[in-house]
Amino acid sequence: EVQLVESGGGLVQPGGSLRLSCEASGLTVSRHYIIWVRQAPGKGLEWVSVIYSDGSTYSADSVKGRFTISRDISKNTLYLLMNSLRAEDTAVYYCARTSAGDIWYFDLWGRGTLVTVSS
Amino acid sequence: EIVMTQSPATLSVSPGERATLSCRASQSVYNSLAWYQQKPGQAPRLLIYGASARATGIPARFSGSGSGTEFTLTISGLQSEDFAVYYCQQYNDWPPHFGGGTKVEIK
């Protein structure tokens, strides 16, 4: 079965750090464009960071300099390292795959992992 | 950046009826428009891409139309499993932006 499974969420204090994982099965992460999208409680969807198949990475201005997306090809897993966390980073974080290269709609999503930033 | 606006925010529909959801882009996205369905506690599910093409496994009661700046998602003969939140998303320009969503609820 082709799937993405996120993990690593939890409760963290403001200013703290957390690393999210997105483990892929049935697909090879290095061949796909994969994005992290977040959804704050009761809110809509917001892109966070993306990694291209060639390894290039980009992040939204709201997280630039604080969040880093990376991947481990040997583990077929993507990561989102989140530093200097703020209350407004509280959200469910999803990883998702583009259907075809750099055509940015998403045909496969994980179930998400909840990050809560609170003291 | 392109802003996506969905209307209405909430749509009350009786089972078996038709639901019509709207999505407007702040500038032309041509036909680079996708629709997703999201149920509580679940990830978004791709319904429509290219403004009108149904994704794999999506029932024919879901149809998309429009181009440029105005788009519509129509759900014909609403079934109980269709009550959810629906998001549009443009992918003509980077970054991909989602609309604020339309909640389809039981009337």
> Is the dihedral angle over the CA atoms B46, B51, B56, B62 positive or is it negative?
positive
- pLDDT digits 0-9 by tens, B1-41: 899 999 999 999 999 999 999 999 999 999 999 999 999 88
Of residues A103 and B49, more confidently modeled: B49
Tokens 């407007």, residue?
B24
Q: How far is CA B75 from CA A63, B47, B53, B67, B95, in A?
A: 36, 11, 14, 18, 28
Give helix then strand counts, H and E, for chain B: 0, 11
- C-alpha closest to that of B53 among B33, B39, B70: B33
pLDDT of residue B4: 96
Determine, for residues B87 and A109 on separate chains, whether the beta-carbon distance falls below 8 Å. Answer: no
| Greatest extent of chain A over all pairs of C-alpha atoms, in Å | 41
- pLDDT digits 0-9 by tens, A22-75: 999 999 999 999 999 999 998 999 999 999 999 999 999 999 999 999 999 999
- pLDDT digits 0-9 by tens, A75-109: 999 999 999 999 999 999 999 999 888 888 999 99
| Greatest extent of chain B over all pairs of C-alpha atoms, in Å | 38
End-to-end CA distance of chain B: 36
pLDDT of residue A101: 81
Beta strands in chain B (DSSP E): 4-7, 10-13, 19-25, 33-38, 45-49, 53-54, 62-67, 70-75, 85-90, 97-98, 102-106
Chain A residues whose CB is inside 8 A of the B44 CB are 45, 94, 96, 106, 109
pLDDT of residue A103: 84
Q: Counting beta carbons within 10 angstroms of the beta carbon of residue A87, is it exposed (0 to 12), middle (13 to 18) or buried (19 or more)?
A: exposed
Q: Nearest by CB to B98, which of A45, A99, A103?
A: A45
pLDDT of residue B6: 97
Is the predicted pLDDT of residue B72 greater than 90, yes or no? yes
Determine, for residues A105 and B46 on separate chains, whether the beta-carbon distance falls below 8 Å. Answer: yes
Determine, for residues A111 and B42 on separate chains, whether the beta-carbon distance falls below 8 Å. Answer: yes
